[in-house]
Structure 1
Amino acid sequence: MSSKKMGRPKSDNPKSKTIEIRVDEEILSKLDAAAEKLNTNRSAIVRKGIEKIYEELQK
């Protein structure tokens, strides 16, 4: 038998930290619409937003 484990491969950049935010219905609706339009999930949209703001602050 192979000693190779089954399951998802290890990530180079694991996302092991969790944050929780409170939003109103309007923001949640916008977040879901953006995720659907970009064919991704809520977390990816939030990460992109954080990166965008961070880049703007570096200028």
Structure 2
Amino acid sequence: MSPRTGQPTDNPKPYKITVRIDEKGKQILDKFCEQKNVNQNEAIRRGILRLEEEIKK
């Protein structure tokens, strides 16, 4: 098995996005991650899923 091979998943994440945020955005992200005990990637994924509610209106 290759050292880069991870655990099998039902939800692969092949897309990588890089963003720049300001200080306020970073503070909000950090506070959310601390309160919800999630990493930044998971917090951002949750935020993106919330956008779906907006586009269905």
Please indicate the TM-score interval, normalised by the length of the shorter structure: 0.7 to 0.9
State the partner residue of 2:27.
29
**Structure 1 unaligned residues grouped into runs of 5+:** none
State the shift of 1:17 in Å. 1.1
> What is the count of residue pairs matched by the alignment?
54
Counterpart of 1:26 in structure 2: which amino acid?
A: K
**What does the per-residue CA deviation read over 1:6-39, in whole Å, with 9 as the maximum and x for residues that have no partner?**
x742111111210000101111111011011000
The runs of 5 or more residues in structure 2 that have no matched partner are none
**Which structure has the greater CA radius of gyration?**
1
Alignment of 1:43-58 (within 5 A): 43-58=41-56
Task: Give the structure-2-normalised TM-score.
Answer: 0.79
**2:14 corresponds to which letter in structure 1?**
S
Q: Which residue of 2 aligns with 1:40?
A: 38
Identity across matched positions, percent: 35
TM-score w.r.t. the length of structure 1 is: 0.76
